[in-house]
């Protein structure tokens, strides 16, 4: 699927039941753009989404990668999704990945062309925690 924001490729994945309340709307599947990190509804999903297509900064654990993808998709609206983002940070950490370190790595990935200030959001998340 193509990103509605920039036309880039997306990694489409099912939203786990545990995070069903963590996405805007009632989407059962979403896509994360490999270029601009925009999150959008998706129709077809892969059983094993390859988040390394987005960045090597993503956790290798599948559950952690999905939680991190949702976190990245919501991070642009930190004030609106504060509770959801906090839950997702905990889920990424529980999966064995430091979410703030993963965000640092994502912020310095040269293939990412997002309008989000990932380094600034990371600092805000650190204060949130």
Helices (H), ranges, 1-129: 62-74, 82-94, 99-107, 118-128
pLDDT value at residue 47: 79
**pLDDT per residue of the chain (129 residues) written in tens, 0 to 9:** 799 999 999 999 999 999 998 888 888 999 999 999 999 999 888 778 999 999 999 999 999 999 999 999 999 999 899 999 999 999 999 999 999 999 999 999 999 999 999 999 999 988 877
Identify the burial level of 111 via C-beta atoms within 10 angstroms of its C-beta, where 0-12 means exposed, 13-18 middle and 19 or more buried: exposed
Query: How far is 17 from 31, CA to CA, in rounded Å?
Result: 16
Query: How far is 10 from 73, CA to CA, in rounded Å?
Result: 12
The pTM assigned to this predicted structure is 0.94
Q: How many CB atoms lie within 10 A of CB 4?
A: 12
What angle, rounded to 10 degrees, do the helices at 62-74 and 82-94 form? 160
> Phi and psi dihedrals of 55, rounded to 5?
-170, 150
pLDDT value at residue 106: 95
């Amino acid at each position: 699927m193509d990103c509605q924001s920039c036309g880039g490729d997306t990694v489409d994945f099912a939203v786990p039941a545990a995070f069903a309340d963590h996405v805007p709307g009632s989407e059962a599947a979403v896509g994360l753009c490999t270029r601009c990190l925009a999150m959008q509804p998706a129709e077809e999903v892969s059983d094993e989404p390859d988040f390394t297509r987005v960045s090597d900064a993503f956790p290798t654990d599948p559950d952690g990668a999905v939680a991190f993808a949702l976190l990245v998709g919501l991070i642009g609206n930190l004030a609106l999704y504060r509770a959801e983002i906090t839950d997702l940070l905990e889920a990424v950490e529980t999966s064995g990945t430091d979410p703030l370190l993963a965000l640092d790595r994502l912020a310095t990935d040269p293939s990412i062309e997002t309008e989000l200030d990932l380094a600034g959001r990371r600092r805000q998340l650190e204060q949130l925690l």
